[in-house]
Chains A and B, each alone.
Chain A
Amino acid sequence: MILPSFFADSFYETILALELFLQSIVNGTIQSGFFALAAVGLVLIFGVMGVVNFAHGELVMVGAYTVWFLHAQHSTPFLITIVIAILVVTVIGILMEKFLFRPMRDDPLGGLICSIGVLFILQVLATLVGGDGPSKQVPPPFEGTMVLFEFLRIPYQRLFSIAVSVAALGLLWHFLTHTKLGWALRAVSQDREAASLQGINSNRISMIAIAVGAAMAGLAGALMAPLTNINPHMGHNVIITAFIVTIVGGVGSLSGAVIASVLYALFHTFVTTYFNGTVATISGLLIMVLVLIVRPTGIMGHRVSE
């Protein structure tokens, strides 16, 4: 009988395809946490200080290196290394603000060039610490895999990452929408001068913005460490992703960046699964260009008046 076996094959294939599809959604969702953590920092720093922080990917890289160095090399407990990674990267961010971006306040291009300098310095430092051999691996501290509906596989390590990412983004959201300091931060990013007329010290707010942005980057790196290849140049992919997400979401819009992170992560995962990673990045950049042509303000951006 030809017909039934054809049905059976087709049924089986359909199930497999459906499983792959659902698994991709899960993978993409998990990926979106990293994208969003990296992108919100970039948006915050750009919004408040007007500087494109090209070293943002390297901040993520330093977070990952901290976990590799302390956890994989020196067996510090993973959770403690996450906290240390956040602190280390936050301190780097604060130093960048104080010694580079603040003197360059009236010169966004100068700030950008300084951040490129920091990018190289951090890459070289990472090479000095870790050597220039093959990429480092961090064995996942959380072992095992959760299986849902008998086919969806979510490693506990990834589950942990997405949970922490969502919690961190939720905290940031609360900070920005429910605290006076958060309002002040948004006020400075909307109109620095009008904010100073309300008594808001923009240097202090810039410091807070970069501290928060860097902390998010450090956290992203720390969470990513057990799930990715760690090398001095890993920041490259991070910054490209963060740019795509920031521009698609609407420069200056944090909610836009988060929404775009989720959409882009799903998109990227699907294209990677069904084609490959290079095609995914190329098409991501194409989408960014298309958004710039069709809707230059991004998904959530507003036209800036004046």
Chain B
Amino acid sequence: MKLSVQDLEVNYNNVAALKQISLEVSDGAFVTLIGSNGAGKSTTLRTISGLVKPSGGRICLDDQRIDMLSADKILRLGIAHVPEGRRIFKDLSVAENLYLGAYIHQDKAQIDLDLDKVYSRFPRLEERKGQHARTLSGGEQQMLSIGRSLMSRPRILLLDEPSLGLAPIIVQEIGHILREINQQGVTVILVEQNADLALQLADYGYVLETGRIAMQDKAELLADNEHVKKAYLGI
């Protein structure tokens, strides 16, 4: 499944948030969007997953235009979105959160297999499956949010700032898990302010600045770029 974004434009109250963004994400790729606050990274993800409607341009999955579809229909096409701030259902139990991730599926047996997979990937979620999600730590909540999205059996996984507010050791753990998910064939599009982590994980990167793509290259080349180093890697 190839995702292509062409000349995407998004306006919020007549202010341009995205100005002609174009991305190409091939099947199985690990792509990252880096950039500072307000550069349009989240807006790009939110537009792909159907939460925000573009005012121009198009988003295609293979040959199908998806930019007019609602978020629940886009998920059914295989694009799952782990939103910024985790957005787990705090008053539901861990297990209920995960089952809701599989809301679009009806095959009970496969759902239970997927659940076992998520639990083996995140053993702490299994230990806490009966607890209200609000009682989880920040890292566990992030794992729940990722696990919930995996329950939909995505072909493309969008992640918005999964490292935000987490201890470095948890960030490493989550990075490790994202790489594993990608190696199992899921395309990953990662939005991160932690550019260091993002460029380590990804194989291709885009740098967003004020709603435009300022640079794009292989991740290791971006990590070596002087401008990127100075502006985003703090070196």
Chain A residues with a Cβ under 8 A of chain B: 180, 183-184, 186-187, 190-191, 193-202, 302, 306
Q: Are B76 and A193 in contact (CB under 8 A)?
A: no
Q: Does B124 make an interface contact (CB < 8 A)?
A: no
A190 to B132, CA, bound (A): 13
Residue in B closest to A193 when the chains form the complex, CB atoms: B51
A198 / chain B contacts, CB cutoff of 8 Å = 72, 75, 100-101, 103-104, 148, 152
Q: Are B100 and A187 in contact (CB under 8 A)?
A: yes
A199 / chain B contacts, CB cutoff of 8 Å = 72, 75-76, 103-104, 152
Q: Are A194 and B83 in contact (CB under 8 A)?
A: yes
Q: Are B89 and A200 in contact (CB under 8 A)?
A: no
Q: Are A193 and B152 in contact (CB under 8 A)?
A: no
B103 / chain A contacts, CB cutoff of 8 Å = 180, 184, 198-200
A180 / chain B contacts, CB cutoff of 8 Å = 99-100, 103
Q: Are A190 and B89 in contact (CB under 8 A)?
A: yes
Whole-angstrom distance between the Cβ of A92 and the nearest chain B Cβ: 27
Whole-angstrom distance between the Cβ of A161 and the nearest chain B Cβ: 30
A194 / chain B contacts, CB cutoff of 8 Å = 83, 87-89
A190 / chain B contacts, CB cutoff of 8 Å = 89-92
Contact of A193 among B87, B88, B96, B134 (CB under 8 A): B87
Contact of B100 among A184, A302, A306 (CB under 8 A): A184
Among A180, A197, A202, the one with the most B-chain Cβ atoms within 10 Å of its Cβ is A197
Contact of A201 among B72, B81, B83, B149 (CB under 8 A): B72
A-B contact pairs, 6 of them (CB 8 A): A183-B96, A183-B100, A190-B91, A191-B87, A194-B89, A302-B91
Whole-angstrom distance between the Cβ of A62 and the nearest chain B Cβ: 32
Given contacts A194-B87, A194-B88, A306-B85, contact A183 B104 (CB under 8 A): no
Whole-angstrom distance between the Cβ of A208 and the nearest chain B Cβ: 14
Whole-angstrom distance between the Cβ of A89 and the nearest chain B Cβ: 28
- Could you mark each residue 71-89 of chain B with 1 if its beta carbon is under 8 Å from any beta carbon of chain A, else 0? 1100110001101010111
Chain B residues with a Cβ under 8 A of chain A: 49-51, 70-72, 75-76, 80-81, 83, 85, 87-92, 96, 99-101, 103-104, 134, 148-149, 152
A201 to B100, CA, bound (A): 12
A198 to B96, CA, bound (A): 12
Given contacts A183-B99, A187-B100, A198-B148, 13 further A-B contacts (CB under 8 A): A183-B96, A187-B89, A194-B87, A196-B72, A197-B80, A197-B81, A197-B149, A198-B75, A198-B100, A198-B104, A199-B103, A200-B103, A306-B85
A201 to B103, CA, bound (A): 10
Q: Are A196 and B87 in contact (CB under 8 A)?
A: no
Among B76, B80, B85, B96, the one with the most A-chain Cβ atoms within 10 Å of its Cβ is B96
A202 / chain B contacts, CB cutoff of 8 Å = 72
B81 / chain A contacts, CB cutoff of 8 Å = 197
Q: Are B89 and A196 in contact (CB under 8 A)?
A: no
A186 to B91, CA, bound (A): 8
A202 to B91, CA, bound (A): 18
Residue in A closest to B152 when the chains form the complex, CB atoms: A199
A187 to B90, CA, bound (A): 9
Whole-angstrom distance between the Cβ of B189 and the nearest chain A Cβ: 14
A202 to B87, CA, bound (A): 16
Whole-angstrom distance between the Cβ of B144 and the nearest chain A Cβ: 12
A27 to B138, CA, bound (A): 47
Whole-angstrom distance between the Cβ of A305 and the nearest chain B Cβ: 8
A201 to B101, CA, bound (A): 13
B99 / chain A contacts, CB cutoff of 8 Å = 180, 183
Residue in B closest to A182 when the chains form the complex, CB atoms: B96
Residue in A closest to B90 when the chains form the complex, CB atoms: A190
A148 to B29, CA, bound (A): 74
Contact of B75 among A187, A197, A302 (CB under 8 A): A197
Given contacts A183-B92, A183-B99, contact A197 B76 (CB under 8 A): no
Q: Are A186 and B89 in contact (CB under 8 A)?
A: yes
Given contacts A180-B100, A187-B92, contact A196 B83 (CB under 8 A): no
Given contacts A190-B89, A190-B91, A306-B85, contact A196 B51 (CB under 8 A): yes
B90 / chain A contacts, CB cutoff of 8 Å = 190, 302
A194 to B87, CA, bound (A): 6
Q: Are A196 and B100 in contact (CB under 8 A)?
A: no
Whole-angstrom distance between the Cβ of A48 and the nearest chain B Cβ: 13
